Structure 1
């Protein structure tokens, strides 16, 4: 698996990845974007910001980059960056299919992305991803699987994904929603010719949303690499938005709430890669301090009190404005 390359890396930040959801398109649901992004979010401006982040991340030891077909031009921006730096061969690249970007580079679009886990969508998006990333693609994930997703039952799709795996691309899935644990456990049961299909799972886990934890531990025990997304809860655990207890623990460590929030995830024994969704190089540098945070037992216990009911958490997330 490509993630074995991370397991042998020696940088303190090798288990922190960079997700490009926030900079591959002008509109997203992270808090504080008005202050974080260029005043004019043109394609060229966002490409430049993405490349700036990728340069900074690589220089600081980050070796996993996460994109998706629905993250605007994230695959294109990453492909351009890789093409201009042929000497960089140790970056692990993961992308996702299953959502189509429909915002047309606008922040006020009625629908920013449309979900479809059909074989037809897989075939179309696989070609689109291949045209941009070619053989640099290490991991291809089904985007945002829920327990009712047809991707969990579609045998034809499973066969196509198994063909991709036979070509050397790792097959995984990401999950979302209050029933992530059910989706993860259903995915663990999917087999093709008696062999598990999925080798990675990417899920939301943070101080506010911990419900997937036991299922992620089971996935890790089954041999899957666990990738954690939204460790900052779309900005709710950063800066002025951070809850008082997180601010307090951060003050005790001498680092930012964002570093503490990500450190809480990194200390989970099943966490293989934890994504930073930074939109600025300063945010990225602060996020990467998570690798140096050593939370005491009492600090971890205090942060554990932040967990919300998953239904409430996802309802709140659904109401965050695209901006």
Structure 2
């Protein structure tokens, strides 16, 4: 498992990863993008920003990077960064397939990505990923699996994924939506030739959306590495947008709301890697303070009260505008 490299890492931030969703394409649903990114989001401007973040993350001990075919040019930007630094071999690289980027580098596109979990899409997108990342790809995940996804039952797809696993690439899935727990549990039962197919699961978990916690604990107990995405809820748990209870606890600790929100997730015994979705080096530095945030029982109790019903959380997320 490539994540064994993180298990032996000595930096306190090794288990915080950098996700490239916010900087691989000009438009995304994170709050505050008009403040965080250049007004002219050309390919070269976003490439420069991605490389700046990757440099800052590596220098501060981050050792996992998360990309996806649908994150615009994120794999391309990451591949460029890796080629320029051939001595950097201790970073675990993950990417995802299952969504196709369709916005044509526009922020006002009617549709930004199209979902398809078919074996044919895997064939096409895995070839595209390997062309860019080559043997640096450690983990390949199915993007945003829901309980009704054909990826959970398509044996032809499972055979393809098993062949990729035999080449040394770990196979995983990410989950989204109010049925995350059901999707995780279904994935635990997927086997090829008597062997569990999925070795990792990447799910949304944060102070507002906690519904997958028990299923993630079960996945961890079964031996999967758990990755957590959207730990600051697309910006809803950062800065001025954060709920009053979170702002109060952050003031007590002396750290930012984002660091506190990430710190709560890092405390979960099943959380192997928690992703930062920073769009600036300053945001990243603030996120990484999570490794040293100390929270007492009273503060954790107050923060636990922020949880929303899954349907309400995902309904709000679906209404966030692409900017």
TM, length-normalised to structure 1: 1.00
CA drift of 1:298 comes to: 1.0
Q: Which residue of structure 2 aligns with residue 67 of structure 1?
A: 67
Asked if 1:139 corresponds to 2:119, the answer is no
* Distance in structure 2 (CA, Å) of the matches to 1:175 and 1:274: 15
Q: Which residue of structure 1 aligns with residue 287 of structure 2?
A: 287
Q: Unaligned 5+ residue runs, structure 1? A: none
1:246-257 superposed matches below 5 A: 246-257=246-257
* Distance in structure 1 (CA, Å) of the matches to 2:7 and 2:143: 25
Write the deviation string for residues 108-152 of structure 1: whole angstroms up to 9, x where unpaired: 001000000000000000000000000000000000000000000
* Distance in structure 2 (CA, Å) of the matches to 1:129 and 1:163: 16
Q: Which residue of structure 1 aligns with residue 91 of structure 2?
A: 91
Q: In structure 1, the residue corresponding to 2:182 is in which secondary structure?
A: helix
Write the deviation string for residues 54-90 of structure 1: whole angstroms up to 9, x where unpaired: 0000000000000000000000000000000001000
* Distance in structure 2 (CA, Å) of the matches to 1:303 and 1:70: 33
Q: Which residue of structure 2 aligns with residue 24 of structure 1?
A: 24
Write out the 4+ residue segments of structure 1 that deviate beyond 2 Å after TM superposition. none
CA drift of 1:290 comes to: 0.1
Write the deviation string for residues 196-221 of structure 1: whole angstroms up to 9, x where unpaired: 00000000000000000000000000
Q: In structure 2, the residue corresponding to 1:28 is in which secondary structure?
A: coil
Q: Which residue of structure 2 aligns with residue 149 of structure 1?
A: 149
CA drift of 1:276 comes to: 0.1
1:41-120 superposed matches below 5 A: 41-120=41-120
Q: In structure 2, the residue corresponding to 1:65 is in which secondary structure?
A: strand
Q: Which residue of structure 2 aligns with residue 129 of structure 1?
A: 129
Asked if 1:219 corresponds to 2:219, the answer is yes
* Distance in structure 2 (CA, Å) of the matches to 1:221 and 1:293: 26
Write the deviation string for residues 267-322 of structure 1: whole angstroms up to 9, x where unpaired: 00000000000000000000000000111111111100000000000000000000
Write the deviation string for residues 161-197 of structure 1: whole angstroms up to 9, x where unpaired: 0000000000000000000000000000000011100
* Distance in structure 1 (CA, Å) of the matches to 2:215 and 2:205: 11
Q: In structure 2, the residue corresponding to 1:108 is in which secondary structure?
A: coil
What is the RMSD computed on CA atoms of the aligned residues?
0.3
Q: Unaligned 5+ residue runs, structure 2? A: none
1:306-321 superposed matches below 5 A: 306-321=306-321
Aligned length: 323
Q: Which residue of structure 2 aligns with residue 175 of structure 1?
A: 175
* Distance in structure 1 (CA, Å) of the matches to 2:285 and 2:154: 42
TM, length-normalised to structure 2: 1.00
* Distance in structure 1 (CA, Å) of the matches to 2:261 and 2:281: 18
* Distance in structure 2 (CA, Å) of the matches to 1:133 and 1:299: 42
Write the deviation string for residues 226-278 of structure 1: whole angstroms up to 9, x where unpaired: 00000010000000000000000001100000000000100000000000000
* Distance in structure 1 (CA, Å) of the matches to 2:238 and 2:203: 19
* Distance in structure 2 (CA, Å) of the matches to 1:115 and 1:275: 22
